[in-house]
Amino acid sequence: MDRPLVAILLLLTIGLSCKVNHLFYVTTFVDAVDADLADDICRTTAGECSLRAAIQQANANDRVFKIVLESGSYVLSLAGADEDAAAVGDLDVEGDLTIVGKGAHRTIIDAGEIDRVFHALGTSSLKLEKLQIQNGFANRADGGGLLVDASAGAELVDVTVNSNRGLNGGGVRVEEGGTLAVSRSAVVWNQADRDGGGFSSDGTLTIESSTLGINIAGGSGGGLEQGSFGTAVFSGATLAQNEAPLGSNLGGTMAGIRLGGSIVAWAGGGGSSCSGAPISLGYNLSDDVSCDLVSPGDLMNLDPQLRALDINEGGTPIYALQPSSPAINEGDPSVFTDTDQFGKKRPVSGVADIGAHEYDFLDAFALDVWVAGIQGSGAVLFNVESDTLATPLTLLLQETTQPAWVLPLPAQKRVVVGWTFGPVKLIDVFSNQILWTWTPPVLPLAALEVHPDGSKIWAMQSLAGGCIWTIHASTGTLDSCLTHTFPATSFAITPNALTLYAEVADTSFGSDLELHVYNLTANVDIGVLSIEAALSASALTDIRDMTVSPFFDRLYLSAHQEEVFGDASTSLHAIDTVAVAISSSVTHLSTFPNFVAEYRDLAVNPSTMVLWALRDDPVLPFFERKDPFLLPLTGILGSPGVVKPAFHTSSPEAFIANGSTEQLKRWDTNTLNDTGTLTLGGDVAAFWDVAAVR
């Protein structure tokens, strides 16, 4: 089958280029310049409004502009540096401009390492909101993600500055005289060749309710390098795991740094958090004495007891507080902002907490892991406390067969449980109640998924001519049916919930395996990709599993191939879901020739964006990891009979249900160490699926 998928993207992004007052709606993910800067219309030669064209038009007019972006990745591809007209390279801003996305986890501006991402020039005013800027590279220049010139101003609200690199200011550089205000944002995983892994500043910098984590500098200030000019004021911030030879978290001119209600801890590389003493505004917490925090309310030499850096449904990574953290109820509301990084009101109870996260007692439920199984003659849902591997709760599911799926609803303390030959149930894990039961009109079910915001559930029937049903999560009532022509076994949904990919095929040997693409907004099948043609393979039996990366807009799939004489192989592949022609953007990850081994279950760790694959092999089982930059698979971990993985969203751990031994295995995904095993035994017959619940 040789149908190009250009139409797919056109249908997903179709619309007229338009400007309402001083407003541009970007209608394409393609990086292209404006066709005519004199016509006051955002329009490329292809008739679309691109992000670059919208910025060029805003620069050409002396007015206040706002640019609205959709969910997806806007990848810069027009290479060229040392140019300030936004025609090539970075996005140069000259006027008063606001750019708004759909959330830092949904709207991504990716420089593709051709240049930095944004440059605020002259006296410009730039506000970025609800988006992520990543993969900027300022070659032998400052500000990998954002450069704010002298006299220019910028503001970041609900923004992630991620994986950028520059000479000074891997994430952001603020020149002398420039200003930058940061709130409810995260600057993480950036690198400076010299100073300021996260920030380098000689201007006026304010950071409220935000996170600086895992930034690296070759010289001073892994989190921030404060220059000889200007000031940097932190209010309710968390700085952790940054690394530099001088001041892993804070370095430079310490007299220019003011710190209030903030956590400075976990210095990377074995160094000290601060290269000297900042000016303390009180109510800070550090885990060493290098910052010399001695103002009222300051706490030194205390482990803040943070959870691992977590990429949340809200979009910006954060170090959440553990229930036993000494930062809880030790802040001063008069010192810092009245909301935390999530936008949660401070204080939740009593006195506000120190750092970017305001702890809520409901956050304790982030430690819960739920495992579906059979106990005695009935289906049950085991509640497992992830730190102790204790089982404080078991919920009877009022069914006698093994559940096939356990899926958490984001941020709702609810779990969806489904059966291949049975119903779908919504469980409230807070009250331990079954809220509703929905029975599919036709069985069996082949796959089950939830909407990223928890509003909908999709259930796919496996037989030819069946449905992909949409169910209202709040009521359990049927909304609609998408019909698929051939038998189907798996599907995956993009993080923006705009597109559904479903594998369908005739079950006869040697048939063409297809990946159907559905527009979930219009509820229509909008295109087909021949998997065998795209993967340069023949006689693919089926796709064992599919998953979509929440950050990198890739569809990962495991394909099973059987040959005529009984040989078989299993392989992993990555598909760029933003590419114009999906068939030309398939990246082969690995192949394992073995008649019995299969990559049966895939998952992407939301904290590290690493793809993990469980290889079901009774002889030598693998638990393998692959990072999003497509490096070779690493890690061989023996765990016979593993079936389903789940990643705890607030830790670097994976939990794996072991179907043959009735065990729940816990792995540290950073060290690849086995960190615990829960064996229920007794009358427990089997585990099948596992879910981590906030």
Q: What is the DSSP string of 480-502?
A: EEEE-SS-EEEEEE-TTSSEEEE
Q: Do residues 331 and 354 make contact, with C-beta atoms less than 8 angstroms apart?
A: yes
Q: What is the pLDDT of residue 580?
A: 32
Mean pLDDT of 325-351: 82
Q: How far apart are CA 181 and CA 32, in angstroms?
A: 30
Average pLDDT over residues 14-40: 77
Q: Give pLDDT, residue 364.
A: 44
Q: For residue 535, what pLDDT is reported?
A: 60
Residue 26 confidence (pLDDT): 95
pLDDT of 336 over the 70 cut: no
Distance CA 23, CA 26 (A): 10
Q: For residue 378, what are the contacts with CB-CB under 8 A and spacing of at least 6?
A: 396, 397, 398, 399, 400
Beta-ladder partners of 285: 263, 299
> Using CA atoms, how far apart are residues 433 and 396, in angstroms rounded to an integer?
9
Strand partners, 165: 137, 191
In 3D space, the residue among 639, 614, 638 whose CA is nearest the CA of residue 625 turns out to be 614
Dihedral sign from CA coordinates of 304, 310, 316, 321: negative
Lowest mean pLDDT among 315-324, 448-457, 590-599: 590-599
pLDDT range class, residue 622, cuts 50, 70, 90:
very low
Tokens at 590, concatenated: 């690995």
Give the separation between CA 180 and CA 134, rounded to whole angstroms. 18
Task: Please enumerate in sequence order all residues whose Cβ is within 8 A of that of 441, keeping only pairs 6 or more positions apart, or say none.
Answer: 467
Share of the chain above pLDDT 90, in %: 43
Local confidence band at 2 (pLDDT 50, 70, 90 cut-offs): very low
Q: Can the peptide bond before residue 347 be classed as cis, meaning omega within 30 degrees of 0?
A: yes
621-630: average pLDDT = 43
- The predicted-structure confidence for 490-549, as pLDDT tens digits, reads as follows 777 765 566 777 766 544 444 556 677 777 767 777 766 666 665 655 555 667 777 776
Work out the average pLDDT over 417-421: 90
- Quick one: pLDDT at residue 12? 30
Task: Give yes or no for residue 172 having a pLDDT over 90.
Answer: yes
Query: Residue 287 corresponds to which amino acid?
Result: D
Return the residue matching tokens 């950028």.
164
**Is the separation of the CB atoms in 57 and 14 below 8 Å?**
no
Q: Which residue has the tokens 């200003």?
A: 179
Confidence of residue 653 (pLDDT cuts 50, 70, 90): low
Helices and strands, counts by H and E, the chain: 3, 55
Give me the mean pLDDT over the 270-282 stretch.
95
Q: Which residue has the tokens 């759909």?
A: 102
Mean pLDDT of 133-141: 95
Exposure string (b/e) for 495-512, b if CB count within 10 Å is 16 or more?
bbbbbbbbbbbeeeeeee
Burial state string for 279-312 with b = 16 or more CB within 10 A and e = fewer than 16 = ebbbbbbbbbebbebeeebbbbebebebbbbbbb
* pLDDT of the residue at 52: 98
Contact at 8 Å (CB) between 574 and 600? Answer: no
Task: Please tell me the distance from the alpha carbon of residue 108 to that of residue 128, in angstroms, as a whole number.
Answer: 12
Task: Evaluate the omega torsion of the peptide bond into residue 444 and state whether it is cis, within 30 degrees of 0.
Answer: yes
Identify the H or E element spanning 518. strand 513-519
Q: Are 529 and 8 in contact (CB under 8 A)?
A: no
Q: Nearest Cα to 318, choosing from 164, 105, 128? A: 105
Of the pLDDT bands very low, low, confident and very high (cuts 50, 70, 90), residue 636 is very low
- Report how far apart, in Å, the C-alpha atoms of 325 and of each of 65, 303, 347, 358 are: 44, 8, 15, 11
Six token digits for residue 74: 């806007």
Average pLDDT over every residue of 291-319: 86
Q: Which CATH class is domain 493-636?
A: mainly beta
pLDDT digits (tens, 9 = 90+) for 355-364: 999 987 555 4
- Write phi, then psi, for 12 (nearest 5 degrees): -70, -30
- State residue 81's pLDDT score: 84
Write down the pLDDT at residue 31: 97
For the chain, the farthest-separated pair of C-alpha atoms sits apart, in whole angstroms, at: 77
Average pLDDT over the chain reads: 79
The contacts of residue 49 (CB under 8 Å, 6+ apart) are: 17, 18, 24, 25, 26, 27, 28, 42, 43
pLDDT at 124: 97
What is the average pLDDT across 176-197?
A: 97
User: Residue 642: its pLDDT value, please?
Assistant: 44
CB 637 within 8 A of CB 672: yes
Q: In whole angstroms, what is the distance from residue 671 CA to residue 266 CA?
A: 18
pLDDT at 8 (0 to 100):
27
Least confident of 112-116, 223-227, 549-553, 665-669: 549-553
Within 13 Å and on the Cβ side, how many CA atoms surround 376?
A: 8
Give the pairing of strands 224-226 and 199-201. parallel
Pairing of strands 231-235, 204-208: parallel
Phi, psi dihedrals of residue 582, rounded to the nearest 5°: -60, -35
Per-residue pLDDT reduced to its tens digit, 471-487: 998 899 998 888 876 67
What are the backbone dihedrals phi and psi of residue 293, each rounded to the nearest 5 degrees, phi first?
Answer: -85, 105
pLDDT of 678 reads 73
Q: How far apart are CA 271 and CA 383, in angstroms?
A: 40
- Long-range contacts made by residues 388-397, C-beta under 8 angstroms, separation at least 24? 389/664, 389/666, 389/676, 389/677, 389/678, 391/678, 391/680, 393/432, 395/427, 395/429, 395/432, 397/372, 397/425, 397/427, 397/434
**Edge-to-edge strands, sheet with 554-562:** 540-548, 554-562, 568-576, 586-593
Q: How far apart are CA 568 and CA 230, in angstroms?
A: 64
In this prediction, residue 237 carries a pLDDT of 97
Residue 391 is encoded by which pair of tokens? 């089982």
Nearest Cα residue to 496 out of 132, 197, 64, 207: 132
Output 559 or 359, whichever has higher pLDDT: 359
pLDDT band at 606 (very low <50, low <70, confident <90, very high): low
**SS3 assignment, position 465:** coil
Q: Which DSSP letter does residue 57 get?
A: H
Residue 387: pLDDT band with limits 50, 70, 90:
low
CA–CA separation, 171 and 562 (whole Å): 48
Percent of the chain whose pLDDT exceeds 70: 68
CA angle 236, 242, 247 (to 5 degrees): 90
| Full 3-state SS string of 82-96 | CCCCCCCCCEEECCE
Token pair belonging to 657:
């249900």
For the chain, the domains span 16-100, 137-359, 366-441+640-694, 493-636
Q: What is the pLDDT of residue 91?
A: 98
Cα separations in angstroms, 538 against 503, 512, 513, 542, 569: 16, 8, 9, 11, 11
* Banded pLDDT at 215 (limits 50, 70, 90): very high
Q: Residue 691 has what pLDDT?
A: 72
Q: Cα–Cα distance between 372 and 396 in angstroms, integer?
A: 10
d(CA 249, CA 521): 44
DSSP state of 318: B
Rounded mean pLDDT of 189-209? 97
Distances (CA, A) of 404 to 179, 348, 422, 427: 54, 38, 10, 15
What the block records as the tokens of 179 is: 């200003």
Residue 357 tokens, joined: 């996260």
More confident residue, 277 or 387: 277
pLDDT at 618 over 60: no
CB 16 within 8 A of CB 7: no
Between 620 and 133, where is the model more confident? 133
Strand 611-616: give its sheet, edge to edge. 598-604, 611-616, 622-626
